[in-house]
């Protein structure tokens, strides 16, 4: 990988490099651990065409959060049965365009009414997103802009579903980036119980139960990587027992970052260095605007000590990134790594030890495969956008322009 990075850095100022082999390894791990589960790829985490092609070539379906993502999934060759469109606030036009392309997951009761109106004389099958009366940490529900409150959903399903609509499945997602297996296990148990409660009200079995995401990754050295094999073994019984009574119900988990985050690095160059009031600044090309996460995380950690910050999907702690410069034989110094934008917020690390860096040197930042290029303000300051590269297992490299 190092050799590939150095080669690409000779031609490109700043770029993302995704490793298709690593993406496939992650998918293999999930599949081996959870043979009873179908996985959906959360396109929002990384919609690079080559990344999507790699993921979908492994047989994953799509978790689409917009009409645009429905289209991307369709263009990637997925059929309606494997595209799940779940998002709050879909417009009627978006529903009309998506209805023959994706399984629509209604996010509110008014959305179900609109789907019914659009369906007219045609019978439509949809899913509903439920805001459950449990979370990863508690057995109580909380207010949310996502989904229909569990009690309200159960009441509605009893007698109010329009005649031209059939509820095919349910979707719940309450948390991302969970590293505690016990919490994930209890969440899955709660999900299956919720599904049975929904079925009891509907009077028939669901076609699918989409349990959302949850499985996290070790961003920092202090995070403990989830033991996916053990989690798989410990939930095997739960899912197998459910399967016995539900042979035709698809059990699904959505995942973005587990599959792609660690497959990506962001590479940029040093454009200048300077001393100011005893501090050394290394000025880099396109940091906040090229890969926003490190500066965003640093800003949040530095200034927001009070509130607890939701992780998804913009933020992970400032210790979530390593900054690597391939010059280990040089003398070390303490520096701050900053970007070339005209904002003081463009700081990715303060007072860290790095090898002596000068103009033209390379800096590599990890964990850049998920919620990275897709959330970065690339237009900010009209800098040249980073390029995206996908490294295939045979060593070939595809180029994509943002």
For ligand PLP, the binding residues (CB under 6 A) are: 42, 45, 63, 86, 173, 176-177, 212-213, 254-258, 312-313, 370
We find the least distance from the C-beta atom of residue 104 to ligand PLP, in angstroms, to be 14
Which of 74, 86 has the CB closer to ligand PLP?
Answer: 86
Of residues 312, 223, 391, the one with CA closest to residue 45? 312
We find the least distance from the C-beta atom of residue 157 to ligand PLP, in angstroms, to be 21
We find the least distance from the C-beta atom of residue 216 to ligand PLP, in angstroms, to be 7
Which of 256, 386 has the CB closer to ligand PLP?
Answer: 256
We find the least distance from the C-beta atom of residue 342 to ligand PLP, in angstroms, to be 31
We find the least distance from the C-beta atom of residue 252 to ligand PLP, in angstroms, to be 11
Residues paired with 13 in a beta bridge: none
Which of 176, 190 has the CB closer to ligand PLP?
Answer: 176
Which of 223, 312 has the CB closer to ligand PLP?
Answer: 312
Which of 208, 258 has the CB closer to ligand PLP?
Answer: 258
On whether the CB atoms of residues 184 and 215 are closer than 8 A, the answer is yes
Which of 314, 397 has the CB closer to ligand PLP?
Answer: 314
We find the least distance from the C-beta atom of residue 396 to ligand PLP, in angstroms, to be 27
Which of 130, 370 has the CB closer to ligand PLP?
Answer: 370
Which of 86, 376 has the CB closer to ligand PLP?
Answer: 86
We find the least distance from the C-beta atom of residue 150 to ligand PLP, in angstroms, to be 16
Alpha-carbon dihedral sign for residues 228, 233, 235, 239: positive
Of residues 95, 146, 102, 51, the one with CA closest to residue 374? 51
Alpha-carbon dihedral sign for residues 329, 332, 336, 342: negative
**Which residue, judged by CB position, is nearest to ligand PLP in the bound state?**
256
Which of 260, 284 has the CB closer to ligand PLP?
Answer: 260
We find the least distance from the C-beta atom of residue 184 to ligand PLP, in angstroms, to be 12
We find the least distance from the C-beta atom of residue 258 to ligand PLP, in angstroms, to be 6
């Amino acid at each position: 990988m190092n050799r590939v990075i150095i080669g690409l850095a000779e031609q490109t100022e700043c770029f993302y490099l995704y490793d298709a082999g690593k993406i496939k390894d992650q998918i293999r791990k999930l599949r081996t651990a959870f043979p009873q589960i179908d996985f959906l790829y959360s396109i929002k985490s990384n919609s690079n065409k080559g990344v999507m092609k790699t993921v979908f070539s492994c047989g994953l379906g799509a978790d689409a959060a917009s009409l645009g993502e429905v289209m991307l999934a369709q263009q990637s060759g997925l059929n309606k049965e494997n595209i799940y469109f779940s998002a709050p606030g879909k417009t009627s036009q978006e529903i009309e365009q998506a209805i023959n392309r994706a399984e629509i997951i209604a996010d509110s009761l008014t959305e179900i009414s609109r789907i019914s109106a659009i369906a007219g004389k045609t019978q439509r099958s949809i899913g509903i997103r439920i805001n459950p009366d449990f979370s990863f940490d508690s057995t109580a529900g909380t207010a949310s802009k996502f989904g229909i409150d569990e009690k309200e959903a159960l009441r509605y399903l009893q007698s109010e579903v329009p005649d031209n609509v059939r509820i095919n499945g349910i979707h719940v997602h309450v948390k991302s980036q969970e590293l505690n297996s016990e919490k994930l296990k209890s969440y899955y148990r709660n999900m299956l119980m919720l599904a049975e409660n929904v079925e009891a009200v509907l009077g028939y079995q669901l076609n699918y139960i989409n349990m959302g995401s949850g499985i996290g990754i070790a961003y920092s050295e202090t995070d403990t990587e989830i033991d996916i094999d053990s989690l798989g073994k410990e939930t095997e019984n739960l899912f197998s027992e459910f399967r016995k009574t539900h042979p035709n119900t698809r059990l699904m988990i959505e995942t973005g970052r587990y599959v792609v985050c660690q497959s990506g690095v962001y590479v940029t160059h040093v454009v200048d260095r300077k001393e100011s009031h005893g501090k050394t600044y290394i000025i880099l090309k396109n940091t906040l605007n090229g890969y926003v996460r490190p500066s965003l995380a640093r800003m949040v950690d530095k200034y927001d000590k009070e509130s607890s910050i939701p992780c998804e999907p913009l933020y992970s702690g400032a210790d979530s990134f390593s900054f690597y410069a391939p010059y280990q034989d040089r003398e070390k110094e303490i520096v701050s790594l900053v970007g070339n934008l005209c904002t003081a917020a463009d700081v990715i690390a303060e007072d860290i030890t790095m090898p002596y860096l000068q103009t033209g040197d390379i800096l590599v930042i990890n964990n850049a495969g998920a919620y990275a290029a897709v959330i970065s303000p690339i237009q900010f300051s009209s800098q040249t956008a980073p390029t995206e590269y996908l490294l295939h297992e045979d060593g070939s490299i595809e180029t994509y322009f943002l």
